[in-house]
Amino acid sequence: QVQLVESGGGSVQTGGSLKLSCVVSTFNSKKYCLAWFRQAPGKERQAVASIDVDGGTTYRDSVKGRFTIMKDNAKSTLYLQMDALKPEDTGTYYCAADDGGIGYCFGALDLWEDSDFAHWGQGTQVTVSS
């Protein structure tokens, strides 16, 4: 049973920074496409960044240049460094993992749906005030 546990959310003002973490219980025993999703109030959950087994990354256009996804294999942890935060970044952030692609992420990130990922964390809240 894969477990994903997020932490690091909080409240910041516009322009601030936060770093989210997600510990993945089976990080080194399987190859995953790893991603961060967010769900704004009243909106559908959408992917914002992904990283594959080789470290290849993709980002939603709205976060490019501001967010950085990274992983630390030794710590079994996925991260999302968020800088220059805006009020529209507010939402619940979820980490997700899928091993169906043997570590590679397929398709356009903008079109990913919840069903594309088999494993989810519980979410961590990020609030950006103006």
Residue-wise pLDDT tens digits, 87-128: 999 999 999 999 988 899 999 999 999 999 999 999 999 999
**Residue from 29, 28, 34 nearest 47 by CA:** 34
Specify the pLDDT at position 97. Answer: 96
Specify the pLDDT at position 30. Answer: 87
Instruction: Yes or no: say if 18 and 10 are a contact pair by the CB < 8 Å rule.
Output: yes
- Alpha-carbon distance of 68 to 85, in angstroms, equals 12
Residue-wise pLDDT tens digits, 16-27: 999 999 999 988
Residue 72: pLDDT over 90: yes
- Alpha-carbon distance of 4 to 81, in angstroms, equals 18
Specify the pLDDT at position 100. Answer: 86
Instruction: Yes or no: say if 8 and 20 are a contact pair by the CB < 8 Å rule.
Output: yes
Specify the pLDDT at position 57. Answer: 97
* Mean pLDDT within 38-52: 96
Share of the chain above pLDDT 70, in %: 100
